[in-house]
Amino acid sequence: MKLICCGGSNGTMDMEAKNSTKEDEAVGKHSGLGVRHFQIFLLFLALTVAYGCRVNLSVAVVAMTDAASANPDFPEYNWSEKTKSLLLSSFFWGYVITQVPAGQLARKYGGKVMILSGLAICSILNILTPICAKIGGWQLVCALRVVEGLCQGVVFPSTHTILSQWAPPKERATLGTCAYSGNQFGTILMLATSGVIAASPIGWPSIFYISGGIGCVWSVVYFFFGAGSPQECKSISAEEKKLIEMAQADEVSGGQEQPTEQLPTPWLSFFTSPAFLVLIVSHSVHNWGFWTLLTEIPSYMKNILGKDIKSNALLSSLPYVCMFAMSFVFSSISAQLNNRNCISRSTSRKLFNSIGLWIPMVTLVGLGYVNPDQSELAVVLLCFTVGMNGATYLGFNMNHIDLSPNFAGILMGITNGVANIMSIIAPLIVGFIVTNEHDPEQWRIVFFIAAGFYLVGNTLYVIFGKANVQPWNDPPAKPRRNSTPQVESQH
């Protein structure tokens, strides 16, 4: 990793500064709130809805299998730990299938159409969850979650497509952070309120009714006010539209638009590139640890720390409050380091990826040795683990664009698809390991496995990871895109 003295510059950085001068002037003329910011807010709400519908079962399943801990007036199901793990992982069975084709579908039919249809169907299915549990048991709920996963598989590629149309390059870091912070906000909202809802007179079924209902409301709002691009938007001013178009044109060398949708996809080059292969590994190990914690924290809180359903839900959401806040802190630090030319892009990616994976690795090992009567310490370690994880948004999550501006969406679809296979496996492995959910030693094994994945994954990323445009980004005889795009987004 190469360090550069603060305030210094190299050839690449000088070129970045020159290429961004015109864009800086254009953005300065229209730096206030515009239609693009409203569209990003709608995307923030979309991802809030998506993650709310995705994680609500993590808390609801506790009340569904132990009605006495919430509200005994509602149905209780005798599902084993393995069955619960199966239910929690079933969402990702469908989710991984639509990852790779979703980007091309969004490009063909428009990001708005894909994200709107996906979330609308998912929201309706959420509302039907209690009915399916009643008439078909866990088998029908499992099938329902698979279909929900299929619907949500289009969300990230569609969001990425819409962001690429609306955000000027110099604003993509900020606008991308704002949009994708909906991931954590939806998680926080659902984990914090689900326990209270389950213990209230309206019971655990209302967890699904409320989250699905909000999704339906968002779908109506987005149908009327959302737009996939400035060209589709009737309310955007001519000045703002011109700003976006001119700023995006500066990403293309010579100011000419390159028809990237016509470029042949170099599949073989993807899978023979060490830099891309370690990117897949890093994304995968991150997902293993993240989803292990996200799906299992409520059970750990209840069975090991002895927290009731209300305090369980509130405490389960606290780590994601930390991640929500820390993602903005790390983003600000990264911006300052880059603006002052303190470190190279490669060093920045590896530094923040190491913060996001190696520090949680240490805290997960410590969490494995926390006694059941040290609940406060366990909560602090969980918050620190998940909070530090937010640094990965400035690590591997940006790296797709570094390696290939032309094929960044496809690269994200591939890594996110593979990584979410880990999201399927992780809860299943927990189900096989934790045969007695009240045994701290079994949970210790779960934490150690996640820590081991973090260690190996980031070590490979630090050694083999790169942050420069790869040769396969530009096919021969095609105009070469700017090799230092300033796209920054969260997934």
Taking only the tens place, the pLDDT of each residue in 346-405 is 898 899 999 999 999 998 888 888 887 787 888 888 889 889 988 888 888 778 777 876
Q: What angle do CA 223, 224, 226 make, to 5 degrees?
A: 70
Cα–Cα separations (whole angstroms), residue 266 to 160, 272, 474, 480, 487: 20, 10, 10, 16, 21
The pLDDT, as a whole number, for residue 332 is 83
Report CA dihedral (191, 196, 202, 205) to the nearest 10 degrees. 20
The pLDDT, as a whole number, for residue 31 is 54
The pLDDT, as a whole number, for residue 172 is 67
319 sits in which H/E element: helix 309-339
DSSP state of 157: H
Cβ neighbours for 370, distance < 8 A, ≥ 6 positions apart: 377, 378, 381
- Nearest CA among 403, 279, 446 for reference residue 353: 279
The pLDDT, as a whole number, for residue 162 is 85
Neighbours of 6 (CB within 10 A): 11
Angle (deg, nearest 10), helices 205-225 and 111-127: 160
pLDDT in tens, the chain (491 residues): 444 444 444 444 444 444 444 444 544 455 568 899 999 999 999 999 999 998 888 878 888 888 777 778 888 888 887 888 888 888 888 898 998 888 778 777 888 999 999 999 999 999 999 999 999 899 999 999 999 999 999 898 888 778 777 877 667 667 777 888 898 899 888 878 887 888 888 989 999 999 999 999 999 999 999 998 888 888 888 888 888 888 766 644 434 444 555 567 788 989 999 999 999 999 999 999 887 887 777 778 777 777 765 566 667 778 888 988 998 888 888 878 877 878 887 898 899 999 999 999 998 888 888 887 787 888 888 889 889 988 888 888 778 777 876 777 778 888 888 998 887 788 778 888 888 878 888 888 988 999 999 999 999 999 999 988 788 877 554 444 444 444 333 44
What residue has token string 């569609």?
Answer: 158
Rounded CA gap, 118 and 451, in Å? 34
The pLDDT, as a whole number, for residue 246 is 84
The pLDDT, as a whole number, for residue 170 is 67
- Pair of tokens at residue 208: 């699904």
Cα–Cα separations (whole angstroms), residue 314 to 132, 302, 319, 352: 27, 12, 10, 28
What residue has token string 């796209």?
Answer: 487
Cβ neighbours for 426, distance < 8 A, ≥ 6 positions apart: 89, 287, 288, 291, 292, 295, 450
Q: Which domains does the chain have, with CATH numbers?
A: 34-250 (1.20.1250.20), 265-473 (1.20.1250.20)
Cβ neighbours for 418, distance < 8 A, ≥ 6 positions apart: 96, 280, 283, 284
